[in-house]
Amino acid sequence: MSLLGKRVTERIKPSVITEMMILVKKHKAISLTAGEPSSEMYPVDLLRETIERALRDPGILSYYPLSTGITELREWIAEWMKEDGLLPQSYGGENVIMTNGSQDGLNLVSEAFIEPGDTVLVENPTYPEALLAFSKEGARFVSVPVDKDGPIIEEMERVLSQNKVKLFYTIVNFQNPSGCVTTEERKKRILELASRYGFLIIEDDPYRYLRYEGKHEGSYIGLAQDEDRVIYLGSFSKIIAPGIRCGYMIVPSKITSQMGELVLATKLSLPAFLQRATWELLRNIDMKAHLAKLADTYRTRRDALHRFLQGKAVPQGMTYDLPKGGFFIWARVPWLKDCFDFAKFAVLEEKVGVVPGAAFYPDVLTADRSTLRLSFAKVPPETAEEAGERLGRALARYKETG
Amino acid sequence: MSLLGKRVTERIKPSVITEMMILVKKHKAISLTAGEPSSEMYPVDLLRETIERALRDPGILSYYPLSTGITELREWIAEWMKEDGLLPQSYGGENVIMTNGSQDGLNLVSEAFIEPGDTVLVENPTYPEALLAFSKEGARFVSVPVDKDGPIIEEMERVLSQNKVKLFYTIVNFQNPSGCVTTEERKKRILELASRYGFLIIEDDPYRYLRYEGKHEGSYIGLAQDEDRVIYLGSFSKIIAPGIRCGYMIVPSKITSQMGELVLATKLSLPAFLQRATWELLRNIDMKAHLAKLADTYRTRRDALHRFLQGKAVPQGMTYDLPKGGFFIWARVPWLKDCFDFAKFAVLEEKVGVVPGAAFYPDVLTADRSTLRLSFAKVPPETAEEAGERLGRALARYKETG
């Protein structure tokens, strides 16, 4: 349609992760694709109860006059984060904006800050749907490689000295896809760089509560205190359920009203009854026990997949570091030349779904096409053996045909 | 924050309607402000039941792989609209995109089509939140006045001959705020203009099913058949409840995949369980009886407010045409010089809330500042007398102080 603007004709493109998820579903393959929790872990009964309670007040089904979300949930989130040492004491519910999952938060950040041609610094590799939200508004990307402790400072300094960066987008815990955790030490160095070069840090943190070993690191937003250098994105998708689409962003006080107006222009408000039910759920769930159960389950799944990858895929040349949390094993198969082609082959021929790792690189030309992202979240131990076998067989067969 | 872009620093501004709603709530005034249905009319029990049923399948709380929404609801909507003669037979569920209320649909249209400086033709007066969504992307506005049959064709021709218009935004039934209904005759003329001048029609239709007398007119999208000239926006906010945030847009086949990618970039997807519950609700409700009940209720409210306005406000100089549907009486008080100031006075001094009509004009300089929008939707007959009295008294007192 000739009237379409650049956003849809030039800037956005299909999501590789979504395409793989659909392909996997269609071929009834074992899924190592989605970065989504296992549905047995959703607190469905409690959610049903709290929705039922929320609906006893039909007024909650009217338009909610605050575009930023219901006050009680926003205050709960601020308190929870403060108790956890994540948020400076000066922050409160008024700094919290509810979002339709973190993607909505990413989009709002992009819309609020990005003008065509602005430069966004991202980790290499990183979450491709974040790139979509930024490129939709015409961002150009520069990138910094990560090691197990997060972005490599020397590389970051080099990029910053050569580019006027407006935003730095980072996934701080069990990064998607690499699994790295940015240490407090690195965060402090990067906050200094943010002050020196005048950029804003977008701290995306959906996996924080899925830590299977080791201790939490301090957050950028907590370390920055009142410097107004950080926007934090959180989500209940991984610890409650993605389908409630309940994310949140924490923004500095001086931009809360402008961000609220932006939310209003894009959607008026989100379903308030669902926020009320989520609030009740959060108050009533034994969060510590719930998170411990999640950690136990996913740790077991990680270890099971690890065991069978060691047995079947590593002999085919696969290498990886075991992540301390999150959902993903970030694997490399050095002889693999085209992970996109292999991912299709694996679904069609061996009915096992993986995400081609090259999709996670901001620059398609220098993307490492020997990488694969393997999610263990939806693979119970009893399926992991079969998944490992299928993947090993797919690699062996693909290598032969190669 | 110096890094903010033009969208928030220049293009968007606070919503007058929201500010009035908050002011009314704060002062516990009788509300003639919100364009929202009355909460007694929400089918809450049925919604509770269908949500409960939807949640029996925990998988529905996972990420939904189609950003455009669940297939069964989209197909239901297409069939329903076709049975009603609203949609060409060639359209189906694949043309339907679920949105977080119509505002989300407006925003998606704006993001897909508007480049900074593009011209959007709007009705004068029109819904200000639509202006927000378009101006967020840098649209400039030209306008066409409406009479009771919709946009005035001669005026429209004049504007089109002088401006390169990309989109025409129109509320076709019981227009917000004027209450006008665009006749089929006018729609045909305007479709011809759309072909001749190469613009797209955004047909916003939230009030269609709130008709209290007379017969339905054909829709632009139905009349255009396969011409790909129309995007239709519908919503369950007025007939089910705003708080489910369940709107939909109908787009031509050739742009469905691009629009789906745009939705994905902005939010991945909406809560699928809520769409499933809405679908079940729609299948189980006796829609004909439900709509008849809504029409009876709101007709009675319209007539009650009308009666008391005749008694108390018309003697103060107020004039209006009684609308045949929707929620609003669009009033003029010729001696009133500043409806913004009066609206505040009425809440603070007489505890009755109205929306200043000047907020509905795209051009602030030529806005008619003697206008008021009065919503009768949330005012039961037993309150209408008091509302009429307070409004009459507010006008009388304001005139004196004037």
- List the pLDDT tens digit at each of the 402 positions of chain B: 689 999 999 999 888 988 998 899 999 999 999 888 989 999 999 999 999 999 999 999 998 889 999 999 999 999 999 999 999 999 999 999 999 999 999 999 999 999 999 999 999 999 999 999 999 999 999 999 999 999 999 999 999 999 999 999 999 999 999 999 999 999 999 999 999 999 999 999 999 999 999 999 999 999 999 889 999 999 999 999 999 999 999 999 999 999 999 999 999 999 999 999 999 999 999 999 999 999 999 999 999 999 999 999 999 999 999 999 999 999 999 999 999 999 999 999 999 999 999 999 999 889 999 999 999 999 999 999 999 999 999 999 999 986
- In Å, what is the CA distance from A215 to each residue of A3, A84, A325, B20? 53, 12, 11, 49
Probe site for chain A from B6, B12, B49, B62 (most A CB atoms < 10 A): B62
| Helix and strand counts by DSSP (H, E) for chain A | 14, 13
Angle at the Cα of A394 (from A388 to A399), degrees rounded to 5? 130
> What is the Cα–Cα distance from A15 to A156, expressed in whole angstroms?
27
> Which residues on B lie below 8 Å from A118 (Cβ)?
5
Interchain pair B58, A39: CB under 8 A: yes
* Residues of chain B contacting residue A235, judged by C-beta atoms under 8 Å apart: none
The predicted structure's pLDDT at residue A1: 67
Dihedral sign for Cα atoms in the order A237, B136, B234, B45: positive
Chain B residues inside the 8 Å CB shell of A59: 39
pLDDT at A92 over 90: yes
Domains of chain A: 6-42+288-401 (3.90.1150.10), 44-284 (3.40.640.10)
- Chain-chain contact of A254 with B48 (C-beta, under 8 angstroms): no
Please tell me the total number of residues recorded for chain A in this structure: 402
Residues in A touching B61 (Cβ below 8 Å): 39, 42, 44, 47, 241-244
When pLDDT is cut at 50, 70 and 90, the band that residue A78 belongs to is: very high
Q: B348 to each of A249, A376, B109, B354, B394, how far by Cα in Å? A: 35, 59, 38, 12, 10
Structure tokens at B73: 């609801």
Are B103 and A254 within 8 A, CB to CB? no
Provide the β-strand partners of residue A250: A96, A232
Chain A contacts of B273, Cβ < 8 Å? 243-244
Closest partner CB to B1 (pick from A51, A52, A228): A228
Q: Which strands make up the sheet holding A140-147, listed edge to edge?
A: A96-99, A247-250, A230-235, A200-204, A165-171, A119-124, A140-147, A150-151
The answer to whether the beta carbons of residues A36 and A241 sit under 8 Å apart is no
pLDDT at B51: 98
Instruction: Please give the DSSP secondary-structure letter assigned to residue A211.
Output: B
Bridge-based pairing of strands B30-31 and B352-353 is parallel
Rounded Cα gap, residues A90 and A96, in angstroms:
13
Q: What does DSSP assign to residue A64? A: -
Radius of gyration of chain B (CA): 21
**Which segments of B81-188 are extended strands (E)?**
96-99, 119-124, 140-147, 150-151, 165-171
pLDDT at B401: 86
- Cα angle B369, B370, B376 (rounded to 5 degrees) comes to 110
Read off the amino acid at residue A73. Answer: L
**Mean pLDDT computed over every residue of chain A:** 96
Q: Is residue A402 over pLDDT 70?
A: no
Please state the length of chain B.
Answer: 402
Cα distance between residue B355 and residue B24, in whole Å: 10
DSSP-derived 3-state class of residue B51? helix
Amino acid symbol at B326: G
The one-letter amino acid code at B358 reads: A
CA of A265: which chain B residue's CA is closest?
B133
Q: Find the closest chain A residue to B111 by CA distance.
A: A7
What lies within 8 Å, CB to CB, of A131 at 6+ separation is: A122, A141, A362
Residue B265: which of A133, A245, A262 has the nearest Cβ?
A133
Q: Quick one: angle between helices B381-401 and B287-312, nearest 10? A: 40
pLDDT at B402: 66
Angle among Cα A386, A389, A392 to the nearest 5 degrees reads: 150
Closest residue to A55, CB basis, from B48, B118, B199: B48
Which sign, positive or negative, has the C-alpha torsion A42, A44, A45, A50? positive
Contact state of B261 with A14 under an 8 Å Cβ cutoff:
yes
Torsion angles phi and psi, residue B12, rounded to 5: -100, 160
**Residue B6 C-alpha from the chain's centroid:** 26
pLDDT single digits (tens) A257-308: 999 999 999 999 999 999 999 999 999 999 999 999 999 999 999 999 999 9
Sign of CA dihedral B374, B17, A63, B178: positive
Pairing relation of β-strands A230-235 and A200-204? parallel
Cα B305–chain centre separation: 21
Nearest chain A alpha carbon to B129: A265
Chain A: residue whose CA lies nearest to B131: A265
Taking a C-beta distance cutoff of 8 angstroms, is the pair B176, B208 a contact? no
3-class secondary-structure state, position B356 = strand
Cβ distance B206 to B234 under 8 Å?
Answer: yes
- Cα–Cα distance measured from residue A350 to residue B336, given in angstroms and rounded to the nearest whole number: 76
Chain B nearest C-alpha distance from A54 (Å): 10
